Amino acid sequence: MSTLKNQGVTDAEHAGHLLRQMLRVRRLEEKCIELYSAAKIRGFLHVYIGEEAVAAGVMEALAPEDAVVATYREHGHALLRRVSAGAILAEMYGHAEGCCRGRGGSMHLFDAATRFYGGNAIVAGGLPLAVGLALADRMAGRQRVTVCFFGEGAVAEGEFHESMNLAALWQLPVLFCCENNLYAMGTALGRSESQTDIALKAAAYEISAWAVDGMDVLAVEQAAGRAVDAVRSGGGPHFLELRTYRFRAHSMFDPELYREKSEVAQWMERDPISLLQGAMQEAGQLPEEDWAALQADVDAEISTAVGFAENGTPEPVSELSRFVYSDRAEDGGYTGDGGTAERDTRSGKGGAEG
Amino acid sequence: MKTTYREAMRAALRDAMQRDERVFLMGEDVGRYGGSFAVSLGLLEEFGPDRIRDTPLSESGFVGAGIGAALGGMRPVVEIMTVNFSLLALDQIINNAATLLHMSGGQFNVPIVIRMTTGAGRQLGAQHSHSLEGWYAHIPGLRILTPATLADARGMLWTALQDPDPVLIFEHGSLYNMAGDLDDDAGPVDVDKAALLRHADGTGESLTLITYGGTLPLVLAAADQLAEEGIDTDVIDLRTLRPLDTHTILDSVAGTHRAVVVDEGWRSGSISAEIAARICELAFFDLDAPVERVCSLEVPVPYAKHLEEAALPSVGRVMAAARRAVGANG
Amino acid sequence: MADFRMPSLGADMEHGKVVEWLVKPGDYVHKGDLVAAVDTDKTVMDIESFQEGVVAEFLVDIGDTVDVGTPIARITATPAELPPSQPQPPAPPLTSGTLSPDARSPLATEAPTPAHLGAEGGHAEPSAKISPPVRHLAHTLGVDVGRISGSGDDGEVTRDDVERAAEASGAGERHVEARATEVPSPPAEARRVRSSPLARRLAAELGVDLSGLAGTGPGGAVTEEDVLSGVPPKKPQTDEAAEAPPSDAHTPEPGVPLEEAPKRQRPTAVGGKAESLRQAIGALMSRSKKEIPHYYLSTTLDLAAAMAWMQAANQQRPVSSRLVPSALLLKATALAAKEVPDMNGFFTKGAFQPSSGVHLGVAVALRHGGLVAPALHDADTLTLDELMDQLRDLVGRARAGRLQRAEMADPTITVTNLGDLGVESVYGVIYPPQVAMVGFGKVLEQPWAHNGMLGIRHAATATLSADHRVSDGLRGGRFLARIDELLQAPENL
Amino acid sequence: MNDQDARQAVGAAIGKVAPDVEPEDLEGGARLRQDLELDSLDFLRLVQVIAETTGVDIPEADYPAVATVDGLVTYVAGHG
């Protein structure tokens, strides 16, 4: 049966909000899988099903001026950081209406308005960026926090050590959030780390670090709130190890040979959405019609988003060379694919570098 | 005034930091030690540890942090001690700095300047003698500058800092002690055009010598000696490897019909290969001889002086290539 | 009613093969329930349903490979829509019923029907335990897993078992028939001339055959200079001669009216080649004008003695050894050039090299237009008869285009003799790298004052174009006067 | 020699000396030196061929009489 952290659900309206947030992510990811199967979404797709409580809980603690750096499993983070579901799906359709004009795709969602510094397909590639964003805030004397999400797989990368050390050395306002879902693609934690207690690793840099039940959205929200406040008030970097589990494969083409079905089933019994839903119903805070209405709202949001993505348009190929540099001809004379262009035609406009 | 390349670069740093408080210098031993090539000597005392920021030995970490700080509104100058160590930060430079603007659909600029010492010739052995600026010139999204004169050492940094996109500045190790005259009021310079430092007057057999950075001095020396043999030369200092100033190259070759490219990188896949390819593609019917290239021999740079000299471009090898091009000894 | 389509399970997946149904018609499936096991090129994956409803019928058989997006089963909204006459398909070994996720784990699969069952149909006999990827390997190697005894724990069929079985039955061999494709040897490549692109461009413009030129460039490649020095000189258009500045010597008014051009039109088909030659020579001439500072002199030659002597000599000669006036003019020019070396040699690399021998370039009009100037070697040493023979041979071969390289390559001074075609005075343009050009106009009967008596004499205009870097009007004048003096003693020519 | 044979002989001779000259250009009034562009060497060769094929020798003095095709034909017919 659902077991939330001891004090159970306090404020019904807020709990409803958290439930809605998690359900929005769940339905968005389920739709992504369906659209991928129908070959509408291509490339790689990594879904967040099972880990929704982490994003929902941490995002509650952030202010609009804070910054977020995430990984290639970032649809949920983007959605809950207020990037619209339509812009996210259109991006995965490769359409110009996507949040990055169709250039980033599932693994590279960015949004300047919400300071969402995006997906990053290189494991741990985002950690130094987060440190730098925090460095800028500290040097400019701003009270902003940068949150950096990464999986336990990143802990094995050199950049994890370098970033943690820099953040601690310079007491930078960054919150490290390690989403420990036990598997780095096909490698279980025990087969990649000598020391598997992630929070203990962080403590070695004298960064205060807590392990949190990543399936309990209230626990996550409470821990994240305390950590963000400490960071914002100059308490230096903080580290959360959020123990969670992904119910689906690493990505769309993973036959999941590395783990037992029984383990998946066992974790699914603590589905973060069912946990909160059960607790609220137990506390009489979620009448059937509210729950039905909430699901209908979410389904409507998702189908509107699909419509938006379907009606999107491809970015004109003529725009391809824009934003390689900040809008000026990249190379004065060279006409891109060159060839034996006559000399006088050589002054063609700059193009994508051939 | 009389000055050196190192002092000119230091003046550039001081000037930039005085003009814009968002500018700060970050790198290994740039503070207390004064910079491994003493470029930032004295700046810690003047600007303090916050803006002259020593870093741990974490190239990927502090280069990534520089990129993050640029995203956060600062104007960082990150010093990677030498291009040899930049290999540890390649992922941050190529997958983040060079790519974020395009991948984000134009949302995020990365106004960062990364300075590195490059090149061989000081018997530092294979791991400390690389010339990899040509590699970086392969990456769309980066601008690559190679200051070879005092004016460029003094003037390129501020222009680079105004650029909203990442700029990499490669300083050849052998140039730091180069002394000469520099106007007292020398300031920022344009970085889009190559410089024609010497013009063939069309009397005798003529050709175009194209080079950049550390090899410029030996090419100018070769040009003087070639003139005595009746071989007249245009000498082009590229100054920027990306974007390449193709116009200046082609205009010169159209006049001289011959070209020798001098590049300290290894021949295969080097920037000289790109230049030769463009000349063959766009000035093919102006050519009266194949494009010659003088590059480092494709060996790890050896320690012993005579071996290193044999491996690197030299005045003699440039003159031999020039003679081959004009068919003087053909 | 909705179709369940073959899903795309990866960016590089184009088609898939149903290797096992995990439900059967009549079963009710929820969203997310597993419906089938699909074999892609990479691995075997279980696929889920995105709709709720009852499985109405299968639209493909086990073992059928279909493209992504192809309907493979029909799922109806309610059980009632199940079509009555649906034949009972072979029941998969597992009991159906609502499939909870863990009941059907790809890992613990026991009874996959053998890969090729679909073809024979019939009841699926139980087969050894085998993991999907190994089953896929067996399938690709065409091995029947049913007939293998697994060496793994509790009889599981391992990868080695399958590979050994494949070797044993030879099913896995690849027969790549060695096709000795007979590559036709490339046609003997015409001997490619090593030449610079610039040289090739110029040769094309000047209509010069590169293979005839000795290259001085890198590795013996033909360069721009080689092409220029090898180009046949051409008489410039008459109008150009007309506008040539008259030199100080007294000359007839340069604008002497010419006889109008011959009425006959040259055939166009042939004109094309002549056209390109004319353009090419035009380019050369303009370049010559630019680089060589010309000065021009002319004088009138008294040919009375020469013509009289020639006609008398011809009367005693058979037709075949008759002399023509040109022979006398050429011999006189050659002798004069020997005596005035500034007229005879090359100006290259900024300096004049006088030539020991006088190789007289003789402008020969090609029948289809254009002009070549092959050289009479050591013309000053030839007797008139030798000169005539060589001239006849030279002109004949020039017209037939069979001139030797040497003859084309190095005339040291050129004579243009358009007088033959009625032109009265000619100011030629020097062919680089030569330094002088002599022109003879038409032999005319002109009024002549001699010893106070007015009479009619044969005469012709001789003109000289010369390179001011090498000689001046004084030397030029001396040269023309010498030609005139030599012609006064034709018997010594 | 009758006019017909003379014309035939002249035509053949000109064809040998100037192969590119088209038969239809050989109308009577065509001037050998100017219209058919025979220079002095070509003309001398023509005279030589006529001598070899018809036995008619044309001294230099008579050159003006054979300036045109008809002139040559008449001269050859008259002296053949």
Cα A26–A29–A30 angle (5° rounding)?
A: 85
Which of C126, C158, C179 lies at the terminal end of a domain, its last residue?
A: C126
Does a structural domain hold residue C358?
Answer: yes
- Which phi and psi (to 5°) does residue C318 adopt? -65, 160
**What would the two tokens of residue A9 be?**
């659900």
Rounded-to-integer distance, Cα C143 and Cα C127, Å: 13
Q: Shortest CB distance from A324 goes to which of B65, B66, B141? A: B141
C201 touches chain B (CB under 8 A): yes
Measured distance CA(C209)–CA(C404) in Å, rounded: 12
Q: Which of the residues B28, B79, B128, B171 is marked catalytic?
A: B128
Top-tier CATH class for B195-326: alpha beta
Confidence check: pLDDT of B227 > 90: yes
**Helix, strand, coil tally for chain A in percent (to 5):** 45, 10, 45
List CB contacts (< 8 A) between A98 and chain B. 105
Q: Are residues C441 and C295 in the same domain?
A: yes
Asked if the structure places residue C158 within a domain, the reply is no
The residue type found at A38 is A
Binned at pLDDT 50, 70 and 90, residue A339 comes out as very low
- Report the pLDDT value the prediction gives residue A1, as an integer from 0 to 100: 32
Q: Which of C110, C126, C142 is the last residue of a domain?
A: C126
Is C223 within 8 Å of B287 when comparing Cβ atoms?
A: no
Contacts of C39 in chain A (CB under 8 A): none
Q: What is the pLDDT of residue C295?
A: 87
Q: What is the pLDDT of residue C205?
A: 83
CB–CB contact A334 B283 (8 Å):
no
Q: How far apart are CA A108 and CA A118, in angstroms?
A: 6
Using an 8 Å CB-CB cutoff, list chain B residues near A94: none
Q: Show the domain range for C37.
A: 2-126
- Assembly ipTM: 0.65
For chain A, the chains sharing at least 3 beta-carbon pairs closer than 8 angstroms are: B, C
Residue C205 lies in a domain: no
With contacts defined as CB-CB under 8 Å, which chain A residues touch C131? 257
Contacts of residue B282 in chain A, CB cutoff 8 Å?
Answer: 334, 338, 340-341, 343, 346
Secondary structure class of C398 (helix, strand, coil):
helix
Higher-confidence residue of A118 and C274: namely: A118
User: DSSP label at C418?
Assistant: G
Q: What is the pLDDT of residue C330?
A: 92
Rounded CA-CA distance C149/C143 in Å is: 12
Chains sharing 3 or more CB pairs under 8 A with chain D: C
Could C102 and A265 be called an inter-chain contact, meaning their C-beta atoms sit closer than 8 Å? yes
| C130-142 confidence digits (pLDDT tens) | 666 676 677 667 7
pLDDT at C241: 36
Q: Shortest CB distance from C68 goes to which of A39, A257, A262?
A: A39
Counting the structural domains of chain C, the total is 2
Q: What is the dihedral of CA C10, C14, C20, C23, to 10 degrees?
A: 70
Given this model, what pLDDT does residue A346 score? 33
Judge whether B172 counts as a catalytic residue. no
Residue from B280, B281, B288, B292 to probe the interface with C (highest C Cβ count within 10 Å): B288
Q: Is the pTM of this model over 0.90?
A: no
Contact between chains at B247 and A103 (C-beta distance less than 8 A): no
**pLDDT 10s digit of each residue in chain D, 80 long?**
788 888 888 888 888 888 777 776 677 788 887 777 787 888 888 898 898 888 888 888 888 888 888 889 899 988 87
Instruction: Give the chain D residue whose CA is nearest to the CA of C417.
Output: D39
Q: Which tokens go with C62?
A: 């086990």
Least-confidence region, from A335-344, B199-208, B313-322: A335-344
Which residues in chain A are contacts of C105 at CB distance < 8 A? Answer: 260-261
Residue B128 falls in the annotated catalytic set:
yes
Q: Specify the pLDDT at position C212.
A: 82
Nearest to A261 among C7, C42, C102 (CB): C102
pLDDT confidence of residue B267:
96
The answer to whether position C58 is within a domain reads yes
- Name every residue whose Cβ is closer than 8 Å to that of residue C424 and which is 6 or more positions away in sequence: C252, C256, C258, C441, C442, C444, C461
Instruction: Please list the helix, strand and coil fractions of chain C in percent, rounded to the nearest 5, in that order.
Output: 35, 20, 45
B244: distance to nearest CA of chain A, Å?
7
Strand ranges inside C40-190, DSSP E: 44-48, 53-58, 65-67, 71-76
Domain assignments of chain B as residue spans, ordered by start: 2-181, 195-326
Q: Of B59, B133, B205, B264, which is the active-site residue?
A: B59
Chain C residues with CB under 8 Å of A265 CB are 101-102
Residue B296 makes CB contacts below 8 A (sequence gap 6+) with B120, B131, B264, B265, B266, B267, B311, B312, B313
> In angstroms, what CA-CA distances link C303 with C384, C488, D60?
16, 7, 16
Alpha-carbon distance B253 to nearest alpha carbon in chain C (angstroms): 12
* CATH architecture of the domain formed by B2-181: 3-Layer(aba) Sandwich (3.40)
Query: In the prediction, which pLDDT does B179 show?
Result: 95
Question: What's residue C231's pLDDT?
Answer: 64
B35-40 LR contacts (CB < 8 Å, sep 24+): B35/B79, B36/B81, B36/B82, B36/B117, B37/B6, B37/B117, B37/B171, B37/B173, B37/B176, B38/B6, B38/B176, B39/B6, B39/B9, B39/B10, B39/B13, B39/B79, B39/B171, B39/B176, B40/B10, B40/B13, B40/B79
Provide the pLDDT for residue C259.
35
CA-nearest residue to C104 within chain A is: A261
Distance from CA of B330 to the nearest CA of C (A): 4
Domain limit, last residue, from C126, C146, C170: C126
8 Å CB contact of A340 and B284: yes
Q: Report which of residues A353 and C443 the model is more confident about.
A: C443
Q: Do domains B2-181 and B195-326 have the same CATH topology?
A: yes
Helices vs. strands in chain A: H and E counts, helices first: 11, 7
Q: Rg of the Cα trace of chain D? A: 11
Contact A36 C101 (CB under 8 A): no
Q: Do both C100 and C238 map to the same domain?
A: no
Task: For residue range C223-273, list pLDDT tens digits in order.
Answer: 888 888 876 554 443 333 333 333 333 333 333 333 333 333 333 334 455
Q: Do B102 and A158 touch (CB under 8 A)?
A: no
The predicted pLDDT at position A160 comes to 97
Give domain status of residue C201, yes or no: no
A104 lies within 8 A of chain B by CB: yes
C-chain CB neighbours of A44 within 8 Å are: 11
pLDDT at B285: 84
Task: Give the per-residue pLDDT at A238.
Answer: 97
Dist CA A23 CA A301 (whole Å):
11
Q: Find out whether A250 and A183 touch, Cβ atoms under 8 Å.
A: yes
Query: Tokens 């890969």 map to which residue?
Result: C115
Find the CATH number of the domain harbouring C418: 3.30.559.10
- Kindly report, residue by residue over B159-203, the tens digit of the pLDDT: 999 999 999 999 999 999 999 999 999 999 999 999 999 999 877
Rounded CA-CA distance B118/B277 in Å is 24
Residue B10 scores a pLDDT above 70: yes
CATH number at residue D44: 1.10.1200.10
Residue C369 domain-assigned (yes or no): yes
At residue A145, what are phi and psi to the nearest 5 degrees? -120, 140
Which run of H or E residues covers position C374?
none
pLDDT at position A182, please? 93
> In this complex, which of B58, B109, B141 lies closest to A166 when CB atoms are compared?
B58
**What residues in B contact C197, CB-CB < 8 Å?**
284-288
d(CA D21, CA D27): 11
Q: Do D41 and C326 touch (CB under 8 A)?
A: yes
- Whether C265 and C385 map to the same domain: the answer is yes
CA–CA min distance C262, chain D (Å): 5
Question: Does pLDDT of A95 surpass 90?
Answer: yes
**Are the Cβ atoms of C45 and A257 closer than 8 angstroms?**
no
Which has the closest alpha carbon to C332: C390, C389, C382?
A: C382
Residue B294 has a pLDDT of 98
Alpha-carbon distance B66 to nearest alpha carbon in chain A (angstroms): 6
Please state the separation of Cα A49 from the chain's center in Å: 12
- Contact criterion met (CB < 8 Å) for C132 and A42: no
Q: What pLDDT sits at residue B321?
A: 97
Taking an 8 Å cut-off on Cβ atoms, the answer to whether C221 and B327 are in contact is yes
CA distance C438 to chain D (A): 18
Asked if residues B76 and B63 have their Cβ atoms less than 8 Å apart, the reply is no
> Do the chains contact at C44 and A253, CB–CB below 8 Å?
no
SS3 of C353, please? strand
Give chain A's domains with CATH numbers.
12-315 (3.40.50.970)
**In chain A, what is the straight-line distance between the N-terminal and C-terminal CA atoms, in Å?**
61
**C-beta of residue C115 within 8 angstroms of C-beta of residue C166:** no
Tell me, what's the pLDDT at C431?
A: 81
Residues of chain C with pLDDT under 70: 1, 78-133, 135-136, 139-140, 152-154, 169-192, 231-290, 366-370, 399-409, 418-422
Chain B interface includes A90 (CB < 8 A): no
Q: What single-letter amino acid sits at A93?
A: Y
> Under 8 Å CB-to-CB from A59, ≥6 apart: which residues?
A21, A77, A80, A81
- Residue C218: which of B203, B285, B324 has the nearest Cβ? B324
Give me the residue from C197, C199, C218 closest to B330, CB to CB: C218
Number of domains in chain D: 1
pLDDT in tens, B42-80: 999 999 999 999 999 999 999 999 999 999 999 999 999
CA distance C405 to chain B (A): 22
State whether C13 and A34 contact (CB < 8 Å): no
Per-residue model confidence (pLDDT) at position C364? 76
What pLDDT, on the 0 to 100 scale, is given for residue A347?
A: 32
Query: What residue of B is the nearest CA neighbor of A106?
Result: B103
The answer to whether B330 contacts C197, with C-beta atoms less than 8 Å apart, is no
- Our answer on whether D and A touch (3+ beta-carbon pairs < 8 Å) is no
- For residue A107, which of A59, A48, A52, A172 has the smallest C-alpha distance? A48
Interchain CB distance below 8 Å, A37 and C43: no
CB atoms inside a 10 Å sphere around CB A158:
13
**Residue C386 belongs to some domain of the structure:** yes
Q: CA of B121 to nearest chain A CA: how many angstroms apart? A: 32
